[in-house]
Structure 1
Amino acid sequence: MRTIAIVGAGVIGLSWARLAREHGWDVVITDPRPDLENVVAEFADDEHVRATSDLAEAVADADLVQENGPERLDVKKSLFAEIVQAAKPDAVLATSSSSISATLIATELEDPARVVVGHPFNPPELMPLVEVLPGERTAPEAVDRAVELYEALGRVPVVIRKELPGFVANRLQMALSREARYLVEQGVVSAEQLDTILQNSLGLRWATTGLFEGNVLGGGPGGIRHLFAGVGAETGKIEFGVPSTDPEVVENLFEQVEDTYGVGPEAYERLRDKRDHRTRAVLKALRAP
């Protein structure tokens, strides 16, 4: 039985814990927060899950350490300095960071060979992707081991070849988000209409085919070359907008989204449950023969 140490008992950390239990792993959750026992209460009757405020104790026997602390370089440097000392020699030491590279985290470590980014999409218990990014001093064996462990958790790990801010998935998300904000701010569509358009076109398409795969299909028998020579030649001339930084414009956007979807604990739980239900249904369909 494999063991995962979850460092940081927030939304991402607890989702990793649920995923690991679904796959039969032992789970140790650590966080300095005083209410840790209450936070992990959902696992109270599971003998394969335990919680401790002692970081060194939590990572001592782990095959995979998944750090989910605050998105601050100083905090991650401090955590990994202790993790490297306490973890067993063959453990993979991963951070869920969505923006901080393994190179920066391991700058001051004497032994950075096992440190990698293992960036999930939220929530990791549902979203298959894990972006695996080695640092400049990460050993190739650690990358291979990370891929093996994430696959054992039923995830789809992709090794990213270069360290870039935001990695890959979030860079794509931000590019689309910028244009979406611009269109709503300009009154082209409402926030709700934008989401309706996305869900019923690109979202549905990209759940079944990749972007470049869709280009091949869009070009018919002539493939991507035909698409780019035809429709692509015209759409390639589009100049994209820049969303406003004016506080009043941004506030209007926030208010429109909150008026559409709500805000607060009840709205969050309602939207989360809907997302999880639909995501599981899509994943079930995609996995069907």
Structure 2
Amino acid sequence: MTRDFRNAAVIGAGTIGLSWTALFAGHGMTVRVSDPRPDLAEAVGAALAEFAPHLAAQGLDVEDLAGRVQLAGDVADAVRDADVVQENGPEDVEFKKDLFATLVREAPEHVLLLSSSSAIPSTAFTGDLADASRVLIGHPFNPPHLIPLVEVVPGERTSEESVRAAVDFYTSVGRTPVVERREIPGFVGNRLQNALSREAIYLVEEGVVTPEALDQVVTNSLGIRWATVGPFLGSHLGGGPGGYRHMAEHIGKSMKKMWAGLGNPSQNEEEQERLVEAVEKAYGSSTYSELAEARDRRQIAVLSALDNLKEGN
């Protein structure tokens, strides 16, 4: 590791920020959290209590989890002793411009400045900064204390040293950092997710399938496959002994015809309302907490199974 990360600042204590807070504290870091929300203490306390079993399942020490987390009075207070900052503010360019100007001004010069931005590349909000070399995207998938992926996306002015440091940092807290060398709105994960979502919405709009049935299609086929191999390896295996070349040569033409026929959902107000009502009909009988708990329990089971396979080769 090129640096020693002991103190983290988490700016923004929404769903993502609270998850990061628990993960960093679970790895023994001192975490200072800043957010203007009036219930910050209650939100942090509830999140640590909720996420502690998830962290324990990863083999992390949760004995004094709350003792490693401190509430900061403001952003400057949060970052004054930090080694790394994880920003989780709104998806708004102007907001991030102002916030990162403050971070560059107030944080020590060695501090790595990371943004959880879901779609906005860092170049979009660092143009006016005197020093943008330490700023880059560290985009997680929700919730980051469970889902391993972090998309590491440098901006036009990010230094290679900062990219290496970001990879080291996320690796040190048990994540899987993937460096993406070209900025593109939405990055990779969300673009893939939205491509699937667009076709899913189209199929429901067209009356081909219900939201619940479509979810069953994914969880009983693609979801299982993609938890073990990605699209390219899956296609390589799908080509049999001839691999991806056989797949491309023998099925490629029919696949291209299918691409041309993929849907473009209208999502006008009437269609959107119909879709919302259909999803609510499928899942509205359960609370958000119940659905999230079931999701996390299943994800932990998948991750545990994959870890056991790694250990046993």
TM over 0.5: yes
Moved more, 229-238 or 58-67: 229-238
CA offsets 1:233-264 (integer angstroms, 9 cap, x no match): 3222111011113211111110000110117x
What TM-score, normalized to structure 1?
0.96
Moved more, 217-226 or 241-250: 241-250
Structure 1 residue aligned with 2:113: 93
1:35 to 36, 39, 64: 39
SS in 2 for 1:164: coil
Structure 2 residue aligned with 1:250: 272
1:15-34 map, 5 Å: 15-34=19-38
Q: What is the one-letter code of the residue matched to 1:226?
A: H
Structure 2 residue aligned with 1:159: 179
SS in 2 for 1:82: helix
What TM-score, normalized to structure 2?
0.89
1:34 positional shift: 2.3
1:14 aligns with 2:36: no
Partners of 1:169 and 1:31 lie apart in 2 by 27
Moved more, 37-46 or 205-214: 37-46
SS in 2 for 1:123: coil
5+ unaligned residues in a row in structure 1: which ranges?
none
5+ unaligned residues in a row in structure 2: which ranges?
50-63
Identity %: 53
Partners of 1:242 and 1:165 lie apart in 2 by 20
1:96-175 map, 5 Å: 96-175=116-195
CA offsets 1:258-286 (integer angstroms, 9 cap, x no match): 110117xx611011000100000000111
Partners of 1:56 and 1:149 lie apart in 2 by 22
Partners of 1:232 and 1:267 lie apart in 2 by 43
Partners of 1:236 and 1:287 lie apart in 2 by 36
1:185 to 188, 205, 218: 205
Structure having greater relative contact order (Cα 8 Å, sep ≥ 6): 2
1:35 positional shift: 2.2
CA RMSD for the aligned pairs?
Answer: 1.4
1:69 positional shift: 0.8
Structure 1 residue aligned with 2:236: 216
1:26 positional shift: 1.1
Structure 2 residue aligned with 1:284: 304
Structure 2 residue aligned with 1:80: 100
Partners of 2:142 and 2:122 lie apart in 1 by 20
